[in-house]
Amino acid sequence: MAPVQTQTITAHQFPVLSGRISKPPARSTRTSKPLLSYSPQIPTAHPDINLPLLRNKLLLACRQYVPSHLLHAALADGIYSRAERWITPSSQLASGCGKKKRYYILHACDFTFQQVSSAWEARICSGSQPIDAGNGVVLFVKERSEWDAFMRGYRRQGKRAGQLMRFVERDTERGWREMWRRRCGGEEAGRKEGSAGPMWVLVRSAVAKIGRGEA
């Protein structure tokens, strides 16, 4: 029987790996910093920024176009509302001379203020251009539902009539705003008003008078 050949494997015959074996980086499950740092902040109410006074002044200035049941509180407080100034040294100090902004949606149906966290949110919810009311308060007017329904039907009719009718629509709406402004005694707008409705023009005119101390 032929002898069987054996071979002894020594340690030096195994391949030796040099250097460190790098592990793949672990996948991060944390949210990016910009998303974590975003948290809408609504400024707290300040006693020197008298929003009920502003509401009463707006109601009195717009009383010809406001339902009578909304005027009871404003008329009962009418002498005080007319005598008291909206913009005062203490309110200016509280708002940092208007730099600390507070954004409100003014609902034209009941003249209530809805505070929101940003101008962007107010613009989206109201479809309105901003109105600087002083004391850092920025108003966005939410028109009445009847007006919104009328404008949707009016513009839908214009789209069906074609491009020429759209130009007629714009001229007509511009004429409406000029008529509202003359009736309210308002000043010429210094910027684009977009699709501003009648209550926006009325409130903007009233805010200008309140800021000058005339209302």
Express each pLDDT in 148-177 by its tens digit.
777 777 777 666 655 656 667 777 777 776
Nearest in space to 147 (alpha carbons), one of 124, 180, 120, 117: 180
Q: Domain range for residue 206?
A: 51-211
Count the domains in the chain.
1
Note the pLDDT tens digit of each residue in 43-59: 888 888 999 999 999 99
Distance (Å, whole) CA 36 – CA 112: 33
Is residue 17 a part of any domain in this protein? no
In a domain, residue 66? The reply is yes
84: in domain: yes
Q: Whole-angstrom Cα distance, residue 16 to residue 31? A: 42
Question: What's the predicted TM-score (pTM) here?
Answer: 0.69
**CB neighbours (10 Å) of residue 36?**
9
Spatial neighbors of 155 by CB under 8 A, at least 6 apart, are: 169
What does residue 81 show for φ and ψ, rounded to 5 degrees? -60, -40
On whether residue 106 sits in a domain, the answer given is: yes
197 in a structural domain: yes
Q: Is 117 part of any domain?
A: yes
**Is 56 inside a domain boundary?**
yes
Q: Which of 29-38, 41-50, 85-94, 144-153 has the lowest mean pLDDT?
A: 29-38
| 68 in a structural domain | yes
pLDDT digit string (tens) for 9-24? 555 554 555 555 556 5
Torsion-angle region of residue 134: left (phi > 0), alpha (psi -120 to 50) or beta? left
